[in-house]
Structure 1
Amino acid sequence: MHRCVCAALAVLSLVGASPTPGSAPPRSVPWKASRLDKPNEHVIFLQYGETEPALKLKETMPVEELNPTHYPARRAAAVAQHFLNARHGSPYKWFHVEQVQSATLEEIAGVGAKYHVVFSAKEGVCNQSVGLCTADVLFPEAGGDQTAPQVQCSCEGPLAINASAQEEAFYRRLRGSNSPVTGNNIPDSFGFIAPDMKPLWILAGVASSFVMLKESNENTLYNLAQVANVTQLESEDKQLKFQYHVLLHEMVSQEIIHWKLLVTWAPAGGVSVLHPERQPHCHDCVLPPATAPKERSDPE
């Protein structure tokens, strides 16, 4: 009888023992990003896999409801707006957030802050609603090199808005011109944009979304303030090519940030931004009066 009890205790001690040094640890899967193409939808789909104990811990973490009119919710929606423009924008397609309907925040230990936002949006050139959009915006945990937020976004209405007639006419006009188009101070100090400059202004907004998406974090809110200058360059292929100098307004710090962007576009190929280059800080730069932000009344 005594020998049986000892044997049982020995078996139990083996069952409850910790892994020995050198044994294989539980396998965990890091964040991954992959493109998912569907009609009317072009998103980056985020997946996260982890070991069972970590997953249980994540499930118990509280999800915070956010006031949709306050800055944390609006910042996340602005990142989704830049995401939509970077993938669907053109000189005649520029998407804007109309109103944030709801927002939540989930802090994921070791990963970052995940915002879930629902907002109404529209395409501003033809003033066409795209209905409600739903986005998950993950801001990576602070520390180390700045990494772009990871975004998953889809909308009820069509994002592939048909502006082919306007785009083709604009494209043919610039391809057939003997003198490359140039422009300065768009809009001017009175907020005026000449009609023939509006497609170039919108293209600057779409191209700037590439930069604003990459540079955004939980403490920023970017907006295109002005095109300091734009020059059409010669192109060896069917793409139109432009050199832009844009002023981005970071509304939290009130800083005006200068960027030079080499932008290419064609109706068939979409917008691409090559060699974005941040310019040195300008102490004397001021925001154009026409684009000065309204006084903030909601909390950070």
Structure 2
Amino acid sequence: MGLRIVAVLAVLMGVTGSPSGTVRPETVSVDITAHPNSVPETAEEPGQNVELGEEEAEEDVMATGELNPNHYPAQRAAKVVQHYLTTRYGSPYRLFGLQRVHSGNAEDVADTGRKYQLEISVHEIISNTTQKCSAEVFFPRGEKQQSPQVQVSCEELLNISTKAQEEALYQQYKMNQSLLSAQNLPDSHGHIEPDMKPLWHLGIVASSFVMLKESTENTLYNMAQVSNITQLATENDQLKFECHTLLHDMVSQEILPWKLLFTWSAAEGVKVLQMEQLPHCHSCEKPPNTD
């Protein structure tokens, strides 16, 4: 059954929200380089704003064999690789973005699910390093939704060391006289104060755990905003944070509020302890330029 999809670049940056889940995104115009999780489905260069505009693509979502790398089936599977890399290796100083899908192939695996073989370019945002990577994404099939399974080879990007920066930030946060807190990262103008960017990046990493868990062949998630993030008191070496975040499913155009409890240290990385989807915000507007 054919599915008609209008492929459009969506860059959602400026939304505001509250812990109660009553949120109302605002219109924002920002450069894509400020938003590592919003990447065009086809990009000529890292950080370039590219609109696929009025071009329409007809492709069966469940197509097998060779896939058009610019159409949604390949893009959705590739986006899962980005979320996987961020959950495993992301930090306040290391974030991953999907730059380009070079090729893709899909096949049914008996009655257990579907497997995607991909060649993609992954961009490490902060060091501005790009590498072509091979990846395999398996979407399990069954009555109960299961997280996609990912294997990826990206050795060059993963060898980038940020341990010294992370340890310095960890010590700074741990020794602060007062607990940290921030709201609306980014704000309605797409702005983030420089000293708040590590908290924004931690929110991206924590949100990637949700986006990986919730991803299916019918979703395409971006992290839109950290509505608020608060450092909590802790007696061990792991810094603890409570975070309310807004996710954007570009397929359904829904803005989804989530509440996360996670820890972070330079030695252990981000570990999500709890994740809870909050009630849908029926008053939320669609982000601009996504129709």
Using the size of structure 1 for normalisation, the TM-score is 0.73
Q: Percent identity?
A: 55
Matched, 1:137 2:137: yes
Other-structure match for 1:122: 123
Other-structure match for 1:78: 79
How far did residue 63 of structure 1 move?
Answer: 5.1
Question: Structure 1 stretches of 5 or more lacking a match?
Answer: 1-61
Q: 1:286 to 1:182 in 2, by over 3 A?
A: farther
How far did residue 123 of structure 1 move?
Answer: 1.0
1:151-187 Cα shifts (integer Å, max 9, x gaps): 1111141414211222122111111111111111111
How far did residue 145 of structure 1 move?
Answer: 1.2
SS of 2:169's partner is: helix
Q: How does 1:223-262 map to 2 (within 5 A)?
A: 223-262=222-261
The aligned amino acid for 1:74 is Q
Distance (whole Å) between structure 2 residues aligned to residue 225 and residue 295 of structure 1 = 13
Q: Give the number of the structure whose residues are more often helix, by fraction.
A: 1
Distance (whole Å) between structure 2 residues aligned to residue 136 and residue 84 of structure 1 = 13
Matched, 1:102 2:100: no
Q: How does 1:158-237 map to 2 (within 5 A)?
A: 158-237=157-236
Is the 2:83–2:212 contact (alpha carbons within 8 Å) kept by the matching residues of 1?
Answer: yes
Alpha-carbon RMSD across the aligned residues, in angstroms, is 1.5
Q: Which has the higher contact order (CA 8 A, sep 6+)?
A: 2
Q: 1:259 to 1:295 in 2, by over 3 A?
A: closer
User: Between Structure 1 and Structure 2, whose CA radius of gyration is higher?
Assistant: 1
Is the 1:88–1:160 contact (alpha carbons within 8 Å) kept by the matching residues of 2?
Answer: no
Distance (whole Å) between structure 1 residues aligned to residue 289 and residue 163 of structure 2 = 35
Is the 2:124–2:157 contact (alpha carbons within 8 Å) kept by the matching residues of 1?
Answer: no
Q: How many residues align?
A: 229
SS of 1:119's partner is: strand
SS of 1:74's partner is: helix
Q: 1:156 to 1:267 in 2, by over 3 A?
A: closer
How far did residue 285 of structure 1 move?
Answer: 2.5
Distance (whole Å) between structure 1 residues aligned to residue 153 and residue 196 of structure 2 = 31
How far did residue 294 of structure 1 move?
Answer: 4.5
How far did residue 111 of structure 1 move?
Answer: 1.1
Distance (whole Å) between structure 2 residues aligned to residue 118 and residue 294 of structure 1 = 28
Question: Structure 2 stretches of 5 or more lacking a match?
Answer: 1-62
Distance (whole Å) between structure 2 residues aligned to residue 156 and residue 89 of structure 1 = 14
How far did residue 293 of structure 1 move?
Answer: 6.3
Using the size of structure 2 for normalisation, the TM-score is 0.75
1:234-263 Cα shifts (integer Å, max 9, x gaps): 111111111000000011000111111111
The aligned amino acid for 2:111 is G
How far did residue 144 of structure 1 move?
Answer: 1.0
1:104-155 Cα shifts (integer Å, max 9, x gaps): 11012311111111101121112122x11111111112x4111111111111
SS of 2:183's partner is: strand
Other-structure match for 2:50: none
Is the 2:129–2:157 contact (alpha carbons within 8 Å) kept by the matching residues of 1?
Answer: no
1:21-61 Cα shifts (integer Å, max 9, x gaps): xxxxxxxxxxxxxxxxxxxxxxxxxxxxxxxxxxxxxxxxx
